[in-house]
Amino acid sequence: MNIHEYQAKELLKKAGIPVHAFRVISRKEDIDHAMDSLGVTEAVIKVQVHAGGRGKAGGVKIGKTRAEIKHKAEALLGMKLVTKQTGPEGIICHQVMIAELAEIAKEYYLGVVIDREHAKPLLMVSPEGGMEIEEVAERNPNAILKVYLGLDGHIHDADLEKVIHFMKWSGKTAELGKSFVKTICKMFVENDGNMLEINPLIEDPEGKLWALDAKFAIDDNALFRHPHIAAMYDPSQGSPQEAIAHGMELAYIALEGNIGCMVNGAGLAMATMDLIKYHGGSPANFLDVGGGADKEKVAKSFSLILSDHNVKAILVNIFGGIMRCDVIAEGIIAAAKELHLKVPLVVRLEGTNVEEGKKLLKHSGLKIISADDLTDAAKKVVKEVK
């Protein structure tokens, strides 16, 4: 789950990382109060959306007078931000951060990710901050230092020295840097992070280090033990379908195509999407209903898929291992009747009680296209939308 910059900064601040004072507003009427309580006449104003590259897209502004801050904050509230990461439809900005204006002497990059290949957290730092790290990696990979961390987020002393040396921090800044890096690595693991990016991490003219920006993604599977982070979920930042799926604990990702997919198991769902593509179609979504999906979950999944108006046909691909095919068939029939299904429905069932399941579908009176295997199913559903 992604969280907003201001939420990430709250977590960083709690862990002891220096961040500039800020307020977050969602109504124009609150701008004056935010400026008063911050006690500033100069500020940076930033849209709060789940996307990077806000600066380039016009979502980060500097105000040097009260009037300017007010004017710019008003303009950013409700703005539709379109960046490389949002796609052409963009994201609406419902919240704006007003923060103390930082004086920047130098910008650095710091990121922590989970390296799945090595099964360890990986720290990445670069003295070339501020810009996109992908660009740095492409242009000058030597400008990025990678250090593996312990599973508890511990960084070895020798590695810490390497980081300080690589960033060319000395004297007081080196001491601050050590504590900054150690704290970040620890808080990343403690909060079950997937990805944490401080870009830029800045040095001010006095040699102090600050987190000027923060992007933090937390492992969904660990949210149950961080209720205060789980509560930071913002449904406005994804598609409406994703927001519904979030509440139902279904793994759903919206895509651009027109074939709705309902599959059990992430691997089978990926394979199904591949086959649809292979046969010339385009999936409208990834949806894993899970191993233990029941009638109710099947019905909910259908309504979720149908709430996407791009969907022109549905492919159900279920392997009945834990689930029985006859139970799934009953779920499909009930949902199709209840939702007055109008788009073609292709169903491929396999596994426990598959014959009973197929019989139920056949005698349901519904126009359900039955498929024998995955390839057959993909071909049939692609034919329906063509």
Residues in contact with ligand GDP by CB under 6 A are 44, 46, 52-55, 60, 101-102, 104, 107, 130, 199-200, 212-213
Cα–Cα distances in angstroms (integers) from residue 88 to residues 44, 168, 194, in the given order? 26, 40, 26
Counting beta carbons within 10 angstroms of the beta carbon of residue 68, is it exposed (0 to 12), middle (13 to 18) or buried (19 or more)?
A: middle
Using the rule CB under 5 A, is 83 a contact of Mn ion? Answer: no
- Stretches 80-88, 147-155, 196-204, 238-246: which one binds Mn ion (CB under 5 A)? 196-204
Q: Which is nearer to ligand GDP, 202 or 369 (CB)?
A: 202
DSSP H or E run through 92: strand 91-92
Nearest residue to ligand GDP, scored by beta-carbon proximity: 55
Using the rule CB under 5 A, is 199 a contact of Mn ion? Answer: yes
Give me the catalytic one of 107, 197, 350, 384.
197
- Stretches 19-27, 199-207, 335-343, 366-374: which one binds Mn ion (CB under 5 A)? 199-207
Q: Which is nearer to Mn ion, 10 or 213 (CB)?
A: 213
Cis before 200 (ω within 30): yes
Cα–Cα distances in angstroms (integers) from residue 44 to residues 8, 133, 199, 226, in the given order? 17, 23, 16, 30
Nearest-approach distance from CB 9 to Mn ion, in angstroms: 12
User: Cα separation of 263 and 266, whole Å?
Assistant: 8
Estimate the crossing angle of helix 157-166 against helix 171-190, to 10 degrees: 120
Nearest-approach distance from CB 328 to ligand GDP, in angstroms: 44
109 catalytic? Reply is yes
Nearest to 259 by CA among 329, 320, 306: 306
Which of ligand GDP, Mn ion, none does residue 212 bind to, with CB < 5 to 8 Å depending on kind?
ligand GDP
Compute the 3-state secondary structure of the chain and give helix, strand, coil in percent, each to the nearest 5: 40, 25, 35
Copy the structure tokens of residue 163: 């980081």
For 352-377, the DSSP string reads TTHHHHHHHHHTTSS-EEEESSHHHH
Q: Which is nearer to Mn ion, 167 or 347 (CB)?
A: 167
User: Cα separation of 219 and 324, whole Å?
Assistant: 31
Give me the catalytic one of 6, 10, 108, 109.
109
Lay out the site mask for Mn ion across 210-249 (x = CB under 5 A, - = otherwise): ---x------------------------------------
- Stretches 195-203, 242-250, 256-264, 275-283: which one binds Mn ion (CB under 5 A)? 195-203
For 173-203, the DSSP string reads HHHHHHHHHHHHHHHHHHTTEEEEEEEEEEE
Q: How many residues does the chain have?
A: 386
Nearest-approach distance from CB 212 to ligand GDP, in angstroms: 5
Nearest-approach distance from CB 46 to ligand GDP, in angstroms: 6
Q: Which is nearer to Mn ion, 62 or 67 (CB)?
A: 62
Q: Which is nearer to Mn ion, 13 or 324 (CB)?
A: 13
Q: Which is nearer to ligand GDP, 55 or 90 (CB)?
A: 55
Nearest-approach distance from CB 112 to ligand GDP, in angstroms: 17
Q: Active-site residues: which are they?
A: 109, 197
The footprint of Mn ion (CB under 5 A) covers 199, 213
